[in-house]
Copies of this chain bind each other. A is one copy, B any other.
Amino acid sequence: MWQRAVVYAALLAGGTLALQWLDYQRLARAHSGAAYVLLIAVAFLALGVFLGANAFGSPGRRAFDGNPKAEGALGISPRELQVLHGIAAGRSNKEIAASLEVAPNTVKTPVARLFDKLGAKRRTQAISRARELGIVP
């Protein structure tokens, strides 16, 4: 995205300089200079708006892909992540176990380990922590 914007900027700047050079003789006459400068200003304003919106805007529109850094730092395993998403979706251990096709007792182990890793005492706190860390949306 930044590469594309840089290309656009280079093209526009290059075009501007080229026109400047070719029209240098005309620029010295009448009032055409003021209109020309305004045209440049408007063009660059539009480019700036485009760049600003794309560079700084709409982070929410990107697909959520978790926070692999935090997951790695906390040592969250793939299974723990699966269980965490089940918890955050509002499901009980029993329901999570059913969807993972394991016994309910089995779910309790990654749950307990998630609590340790997230510093949580209960499910709701684990969700809250995971959201702060960007691990769940």
Contact = CB atoms under 8 A, between A and B. Distances in A.
Interface of A, helix, strand, loop or mixed by DSSP: helix
| Number of chain copies forming the complex | 2
Interface stretch (A35-43, A63-71, A72-80, A97-105): A35-43
Interface in A26-72: 27-28, 33-34, 36-38, 40-60
Interface in A74-92: 87-92
A80 B40 CA distance: 55
B41 A13 contact: yes
Contacts of A47: 45, 48
Nearest to A27: B33
A127 B91 CA distance: 11
Contacts of A123: 123-124
19 contacts: A9-B45, A17-B38, A20-B33, A20-B34, A27-B33, A28-B28, A40-B40, A40-B44, A41-B44, A44-B48, A45-B45, A49-B51, A58-B59, A60-B60, A88-B127, A90-B122, A90-B126, A90-B127, A127-B127
